[in-house]
Amino acid sequence: GWKGAINTTIINFNNEKMQITWAARELFPRENVSFSYTFDEGKHKVWKLCPTYLLDQDYNSGCLFKTEGPTLAISIRNSNGSEELFSKRLKSDFYIKPNRPENVTFFWKEDTVTVSSNKPERAVKCLILEIQYKSKFDKEWQSRTSKCCSVGEQGFDPRKCYSFRVRLKRLVPYCNVVHYSSDWEAETFWMNGTLLDSCDDDKKSLSNTVVILSCLLAVLLVMLILLILLCKWQRLQKSVIPAIPDPKYIFADLFSDHNGNFQEWIDKTDQAVVQTKLEYEEPECIIEAESHQEDEKSSDKQGPREKIFTFSGAAESNDPKAAQIACLMPTSNTRASFAGFQILMNDDMYVML
């Protein structure tokens, strides 16, 4: 019953090396067994001892040897080889584990990615190419397969970073009796057709962008606060310390027409004043007697009384200077009428009515 009860793991590495393992400590706890194999068929078999043993705590738990043909026979015996404990015949081609894909290339076109690799020298029809990918937002790998040795997939977002890994698989049950795949090719990171060291670079670039924008907003906020404080300070400064008027704006013609030449400006100003005086005509001053001769006589008797003067020229021109120059002459007991007003002049007192 031992010969059919032992479970073994058989792997043919790309039809180049064979590896057969067994549970040594569970199956043969007290004995260190020996292993022999042959690729020959018929009666004239030549058995070969295992060239390289695999150990499990100093117990022989497997054997590694070169693949020499499609048909294999194995035998496990006791330590001195006198008793056979397990034997089996098998097709080595049904236990092939392919090598990793070679020269893997990625071709990006818009949202479509095509992954391809070199074709193996043998058994291409028994192989399929598998790619797995995920973005930084995916928790699990997405898988796609196709015939060796090219596979394409659509729907990739050019703004996302994706992780890719590729391997070859053997078809079951047409070519293998067990599901054997190659080891994964080294994981690569892509974003919109650009190869990256890792998707962390994308996160770092995003975080750097956020930091830069935050700094810019902070600077703009500080500048706005400073402008507000500056405006308030200027208002406070004007209220506390009034600004000294600039003579440039008061005497605009001094600086605009005479370039600050005060003597030239004052000479021209004097000429303008003289010309203005010459053009001025003294308003007519008409004296009208409001009282009758009887009043005049009574005034002569009773003493000095007020006289009423009407200044028609000053009233017509409505020019205060003209009225002052023409008619405001200190006269005792005199009443002057000017521009609708009456001015009473009694001795040194002037009263406007």
Domain C-terminal end among 138, 173, 196 = 196
My answer on whether 157 and 113 are in the same domain is: yes
My answer on whether 66 and 120 are in the same domain is: no
The Cα 298–Cα 296 span in angstroms is: 5
Q: Is residue 155 part of a domain?
A: yes
My answer on whether 87 and 125 are in the same domain is: no
My answer on whether 68 and 113 are in the same domain is: no
Question: 206 pLDDT band (50/70/90 cuts)?
Answer: low
My answer on whether 85 and 117 are in the same domain is: no
The predicted-structure confidence for 150-179, as pLDDT tens digits, reads as follows: 888 888 888 888 899 999 999 998 899 999
Three-state SS string over the chain comes to CHHHHCCEEEEEECCCEEEEEECHHHHCCCCCCEEEEECCCCCCCCCEECCEEEEECCEEEEEEEECCCCEEEEEEECCCCCCEEEEEEEEHHHHEECCCCCCCEEEEECCEEEEECCCCCCCHHHEEEEEEEEECCCCCCEEEEEECCEEEECCCCCCCCEEEEEEEEECCCCCCCCCCECCCCCCEEEECCEEECCCHHHHHHHHHHHHHHHHHHHHHHHHHHHHHHHHHHHHHHHHHCCCCCCHHHHCHHHHHCCCCCHHHHHHHHHHHHHHHHHHCCCCCCECCCCCCHHHHHHHHHHCCCCEEEECHHHHHHCCHHHHHHHHCCCCCCEEEEECCEEEEEECCEEEEC
Which domain does 82 fall in, by range? 8-97
Domain C-terminal end among 149, 181, 196 = 196
My answer on whether 92 and 127 are in the same domain is: no
Q: Is residue 343 part of a domain?
A: no
Residue 272 confidence (pLDDT): 59
My answer on whether 14 and 89 are in the same domain is: yes
Residue 38 confidence (pLDDT): 94
Contact at 8 Å (CB) between 127 and 119? no
Side-chain-side CA neighbours of residue 305 (13 Å):
14
Q: Is residue 76 part of a domain?
A: yes
Residue 167 confidence (pLDDT): 93
Question: 332 pLDDT band (50/70/90 cuts)?
Answer: very low
Question: 24 pLDDT band (50/70/90 cuts)?
Answer: confident
Least trusted range by pLDDT, from 2-16, 111-125, 173-187: 2-16
Q: Which tokens sit at 23?
A: 């549970």
Please name the amino acid found at residue 232. K
Contact at 8 Å (CB) between 147 and 128? yes
My answer on whether 179 and 162 are in the same domain is: yes
The mean per-residue pLDDT over the stretch 283-297 comes to 47
For residue 194, the SS3 value is strand
Contact at 8 Å (CB) between 50 and 36? yes
Residue 68 confidence (pLDDT): 92
Q: Is residue 215 part of a domain?
A: no
Contact at 8 Å (CB) between 197 and 187? no
Q: Is residue 134 part of a domain?
A: yes
Residue 247 confidence (pLDDT): 57
Residue 58 confidence (pLDDT): 85
Residue 288 confidence (pLDDT): 46
The mean per-residue pLDDT over the stretch 6-33 comes to 88
Residue 261 confidence (pLDDT): 73
The predicted-structure confidence for 26-42, as pLDDT tens digits, reads as follows: 888 878 899 999 998 87
The mean per-residue pLDDT over the stretch 199-223 comes to 75
Return the percentage of the chain with pLDDT > 90, whole number.
22
Domain harbouring 117, CATH code: 2.60.40.10
Question: Residue 32's closest CA among 64, 54, 10?
Answer: 54
Question: Residue 169's closest CA among 141, 140, 144?
Answer: 144
Residue 327 confidence (pLDDT): 46
For residue 153, the SS3 value is strand
Number of domains in the chain: 2
Domain C-terminal end among 146, 176, 196 = 196
Q: Is residue 311 part of a domain?
A: no
Return the percentage of the chain with pLDDT > 70, whole number.
65
The predicted-structure confidence for 71-113, as pLDDT tens digits, reads as follows: 999 999 888 888 888 888 999 999 999 999 989 988 888 888 8
For residue 91, the SS3 value is strand
> For the whole prediction, is pTM greater than 0.85?
no
Please name the amino acid found at residue 174. Y
Q: Is residue 236 part of a domain?
A: no
Q: Which tokens sit at 138?
A: 């995916």
My answer on whether 135 and 84 are in the same domain is: no
Q: Is residue 38 part of a domain?
A: yes
Residue 228 confidence (pLDDT): 87
Residue 326 confidence (pLDDT): 44
Residue 19 confidence (pLDDT): 96
CA 76 to chain centre: 68
The predicted-structure confidence for 251-284, as pLDDT tens digits, reads as follows: 666 666 767 676 777 777 666 555 555 554 555 5
Residue 307 confidence (pLDDT): 44
Residue 129 confidence (pLDDT): 92
- Does the pLDDT at position 7 exceed 80? yes
